[in-house]
Amino acid sequence: MGLILHSGTIPDKMALGRLDGMIQDLILVVLFVALALGGPEHGPLAYVILFALAGLQIAERRTGFLLTTRGSVLANFLKLALGYVLIGFTGGVTSSYFLALLIPVVSAATTLGVGGTVLFTVLSCALYLSFLLFLGPRWEIAPGQMAELTLRVGFLAVTGYLTQSLAEAHRTQARKAQAVAEQLAEAMRSLQEAEAAVRRSERLAALGQLSAGLAHELRNPLGTIRASAEMLVQHVPKENGVAGELVGFISAEVDRINSLVTRFLEFARPLELRPAEAELSEVIDRAIAQLERGTPRYDVTVYKNYSPDVRPFPFDAELMERAILNLLLNAAQATPPGGAVTIKTRPVDASVEISVIDRGAGIVAEHRESIFNPFFTTRADGVGLGLAIVSKIVDLHGGTMAVESEPGKGSVFHLYLPLERRT
């Protein structure tokens, strides 16, 4: 019987966070028990108040409402009230438990910022000094006792200030760390997009060479088949309808394959960019007109949403018209009869965004990276070159493409063309 080794699992962050919280709660309870047992004997009420403060402090980190600003303010007022009762019950201005007023001050400094710290520091000092009002008329405060009172009030204020300063430094570092994390995440997304673009370009180059070679090899036999079919037409008697029909099928299929070979060659042929300043809306209008008068006809309505902020800029109008037409064809084929396709433009930073939106079946997640690959298609009668040609034209302009899609709700294809030509 063989020995089977099981790899240990690393505790996730949530489990570690729960364990850390339990340890903190335990330490807090132990500290308050020590305060209750180590302090002067004042009866059970003092113990109840101490444990109520401990419970409130624990609940503040575990209750959703108390984690909000409003909840934190409410919790600190409750701590002030409990501390005030505790001090009043244990001797007032002479109570050893005057430090209980530090709890709301420190809590405010860590959660409520400068304003909250000042508010609860002033309230704590005022509440502590208010016990002087309960002294009898014969009570006189000696100079040494006045210094002690001043020291206690100053201690509350200094502790609040120092805690707030440390908490603010911690919050600043946390914001910087969050900003760095967001920058790293954005850099990672950009790197992944760049890697995907490089992989797509490599596949396009390899498949383009293959398509060119295959297309040239097919052209010669197709020409021979076409010529043979034409000769057969001349020698087949007119009364032989079956033979004539079969010859017609041969010619039609040869034409269809020849058209497909032409598309292969168009995809494989290096494109030459001829940029010139042009109006993007006019190019899109021409592509829409081709869609509407093309064959087959699609029962879809195209809505246009052009931004007036998009000014004429240099690009190859002929190639871009071809790319937009392919996107519109793709959207029309995905849209059910009677549906709508929307095309919109807008400026984005130093680029122009063209978005083609359909309400079709959408694209499943596992197909999204493959849809720009040549010959990838989910349609039975599709060739899979439309989006590959679009990607090639956009790359040639120095632009980028993105797609958003949700199965059952449709897709949005985004083209980003730079306003200035990139080398």
Please tell me the least confidently modeled range out of 48-52, 135-139, 316-320: 135-139
> pTM for the whole thing?
0.47
Q: Residue 416 pLDDT > 90, yes or no?
A: yes
For residue 224, what pLDDT band results from cuts at 50, 70 and 90? confident
Residue 339 phi/psi, 5-degree rounding, is -85, -170
Arithmetic mean of pLDDT, 29-48: 67
Burial class (CB in 10 A: 0-12, 13-18, 19+), 374: buried
- The answer, yes or no, to whether the previous bond of 44 is cis (omega within 30 of 0) is no
Considering the chain, what is the average pLDDT of its residues? 80
Looking at the domain that runs over 276-418, which CATH code has it been given?
A: 3.30.565.10
Top-ranked range on mean pLDDT: pick from 128-142, 182-196, 202-216 = 182-196
Top-ranked range on mean pLDDT: pick from 25-29, 154-158, 340-344, 399-403 = 340-344
Q: Cα–Cα distance between 156 and 117 in angstroms, integer?
A: 11
For residue 3, what pLDDT band results from cuts at 50, 70 and 90? very low
- For position 6, what pLDDT does the model report? 40
Please choose, from the candidates 422, 230, 206, the residue with its C-alpha nearest in 3D space to the C-alpha of residue 314: 422
Q: How far is CA 147 from CA 142, 144, 153, 216, 328, in A?
A: 9, 5, 10, 102, 84
User: Mutual orientation of helices 113-129 and 143-235 as an angle, nearest 10°?
Assistant: 160
User: Do the two domains 197-268 and 276-418 of this chain adopt the same fold?
Assistant: no
- For position 288, what pLDDT does the model report? 93
Query: Which CATH number is correct for 197-268, 3.20.20.140, 1.10.287.130, 1.10.4160.10, 3.40.50.300?
Result: 1.10.287.130
For residue 1, what pLDDT band results from cuts at 50, 70 and 90? very low
Burial class (CB in 10 A: 0-12, 13-18, 19+), 326: buried
Q: Residue 10 pLDDT > 50, yes or no?
A: no
Domain ranges of the chain: 14-132, 197-268, 276-418
Question: CA 336, 337, 338, 344 torsion: positive or negative?
Answer: positive
- For position 9, what pLDDT does the model report? 46
For residue 13, what pLDDT band results from cuts at 50, 70 and 90? low
Per the DSSP assignment, residues forming a β-bridge with 276 are 315
In single-letter form, the type of residue at position 165 comes to S
Element (H, E) at 46: helix 44-60
Element (H, E) at 140: none
Element (H, E) at 41: none
